[in-house]
Structure 1
Amino acid sequence: MRSLVEAQISRIKRCIGERLLTQELASQEGEGVIIANLLNRWNAFGKPVCVKNA
């Protein structure tokens, strides 16, 4: 289970980045809200279903 969580965090960091891009506190708060909404939407898709075709 832990490896799945770490893999998800790694994917998030690769897509979004490890740091906030803005300097001001108010802008960072807004950026955090945007990232949280993006992650919630991303996780709403669920896990992919793999089917073996052979």
Structure 2
Amino acid sequence: MDCEVVLALQAYRAVLIEATYEADYEGESLAELWAPRIAALLAEEPPEI
């Protein structure tokens, strides 16, 4: 449960950061810059708990 809350808050922060960046840099997208980098860091399979 706590992990889900943290992930939801981080996703919300990411949306706000993206919106601010696009407003400041005339439509350039942080998502296009960082999505491939973040995807490369993710595990192929979720960890077993």
As a proportion of its length, which structure holds more helix? 2
Tell me the TM-score normalised to structure 2 length.
0.41
Tell me the TM-score normalised to structure 1 length.
0.39
Which one has the largest radius of gyration? 1
